[in-house]
Amino acid sequence: MASLLNRPLALACGASLSNRIAKAALTEGLADPATNQSTERHCRLYRRWSEGGAGLLITGNVQVDRRFLERPGNVAIDHNEGIAALRRYALAGTCAGNHLWMQLNHPGRQTPAHVHQAPLAPSAVPVELPGFGRPVAMSGEDILDVIGRFAQAASVARETGFTGVQIHAAHGYLLSQFLNPRANRREDEWGGTLDNRARALLETVRAVRRAVGADFPVAVKLNSSDFQQGGFSTAESLQVVQWLEQEGVDLLEISGGNYEQPRMVVAARVPLKESTRRREAYFLEQAAGIRAACRIPLMVTGGFRTLAAMESALAADEVDVIGLGRPLLVEPDAPRRLLAGVTHALPSPELTLQLEDGAGELDEQERAAAKMWSIQGWFAVQMLRMGDGLDPDPSLSVLHAFRQYQANEHQAAQERNRSGATNGAKVL
């Protein structure tokens, strides 16, 4: 019997996904840092993923304001031209007939200090980690500007051949900061009650929908919880998804955590309940509550590694779409093999990767950075490799990858600074 993974999924906007596997957003860092335009490296990487068989590819986060990036090599859509490059990117990423949705983001206070020392955020509450600047509380006008930017970027996505957009409201970035009472201390209509904290997200969804029309997929990635005392809670997420349903969102992706509490990537390393271990995907329990609260088709990302666990989640109607991230950085064609039933398990390098003994050479500052970023860097380097037309290298040393990642980020930051890119103009 053909796997449930092969079933198409019809979305409310009228579009249809050809199967139930989605490549989740993975920040590429492959843009030209002087212009934040996409490059041929995106085309190579996404052609490979398109041929890999997933019905849906979601791009790494694309920024709506060039002044505030998640990292220097982000693509940004901010009146910075690059339309022809985006068209080539979209063409390559849809070459096998799959959907390709652009993830739209503003990092807010999670903008690294080497990108901007004083990023805009809901309130002047810094990230409690080294490497981030002191955020400046947004004015009402700044908030309306950002909402306008999401809409503008969404219409560029449609115009250039991307087949949908995903609004990033998870992982502690700007829209997730608005939802989080620890980061959002505002006393105006954008802070305080949940209605007010959700306003930035809901207004963004409305503006994006107006910009792209009724027949274009609009998705949202939302935390099921920030997993922090006093943060955005599971109970609150249940209310927000009902509001998102009223807005006609086509697909809801469930994740969790932020930079201070990076559950989206470390959950598999923290002690898990036996039932979670068996079901692999670590946000499935939260997804069950969300499933009961709304009828938006659900994608759950984080931890799925075996065909059996994916089939079981689909068969039990717990999810509609299986999100895959890290496995597709080492096996970009895994979806095709899962769909054909010839692969039953995907790799989980994150469980075994360790900084080697050579890490002793790192100075104190480098060691602190390596603690936070070396595993992420290892995955990032696999993307750089595929962008250069190489195969991923599962045997890559963590230390070597970390050094390559640091050098890449440093060079991109320097190119960005030389280009004077921080003076982005407002769109409104």
Ligand X SMILES: Cc1cc2nc3c(=O)[nH]c(=O)nc-3n(C[C@H](O)[C@H](O)[C@H](O)COP(=O)(O)O)c2cc1C
Residues that bind ligand X (CB under 6 A): 24-27, 60-61, 103, 168, 170-171, 221, 255, 264-265, 301-303, 324-326, 376, 379-380
User: Please, which residue, 37 or 103, has the CB nearer to ligand X?
Assistant: 103
DSSP designation for 129: S
- The letter for the amino acid at 139 is S
| Residue 147 vs 380, nearer CB to ligand X | 380
How far are the Cα atoms of 66, 215, 220, 233 from residue 158, in angstroms, in the given order? 20, 11, 16, 33
Least spacing, CB of residue 362 vs ligand X, in Å = 21
Identity of the residue, 60 or 108, whose beta carbon is nearer to ligand X in the bound complex: 60
Name the residue number minimizing CB distance to ligand X.
325
3-state helix, strand, coil in the chain (%, to 5): 45, 15, 45
CB of 25 to ligand X, least distance (A): 3
Sign for the CA dihedral angle at 289, 292, 298, 304 comes to positive
Q: Give the shortest CB-308-to-ligand X separation in angstroms.
A: 16
Distance CA(124)–CA(393), nearest Å, equals: 41
Pick 186 or 408: Cβ nearer ligand X: 408
Which residue lies nearer to ligand X by CB, 55 or 303? 303
Would you say 278 or 418 has its CB closer to ligand X?
278
**Nearest Cα residue to 375 out of 353, 390, 397:** 353
Q: Of 171 and 416, which CB lies nearer to ligand X in the complex structure?
A: 171
Dist CA 329 CA 334 (whole Å): 10
CB of 383 to ligand X, least distance (A): 7
Q: Which of 203, 280 has the CB closer to ligand X?
A: 280
Query: Which of 413, 377, 423 lies closest to 397 in space, CA to CA?
Result: 377
Using CA atoms, how far apart are residues 1 and 341, in angstroms rounded to an integer? 10
Residue of 76, 71, 224 lying closest to 150 (CA atoms): 76
CB of 109 or CB of 171, closer to ligand X: 171
Cβ at position 251, least distance to ligand X in Å:
13
171: left (phi over 0), alpha (psi -120 to 50) or beta: left
Residues 6+ apart with CB under 8 A from 23: 49, 52, 54, 56, 57, 58, 323, 324, 325, 328, 335
3-state secondary structure of 38: coil
Q: Smallest gap, in angstroms, from Cβ of residue 396 to ligand X?
A: 14
* Cα distance between residue 84 and residue 21, in whole Å: 29
Residue 312's alpha-carbon distances to 109, 144, 340, 398, in angstroms, are 38, 43, 17, 34
Shortest distance in whole angstroms from residue 283 CB to ligand X: 9
Report in angstroms how near the CB of residue 62 gets to ligand X at its nearest.
Answer: 9
- Residue 175 or 186 with smaller CB distance to ligand X: 175
Q: Tell me if 346 sits within 8 A of 394, measured CB to CB.
A: no
User: Residues 253, 289: contact at Cβ < 8 Å?
Assistant: no
Least separation in angstroms between residue 77's CB and ligand X is 15
| Cross-strand pairs, 266 | none
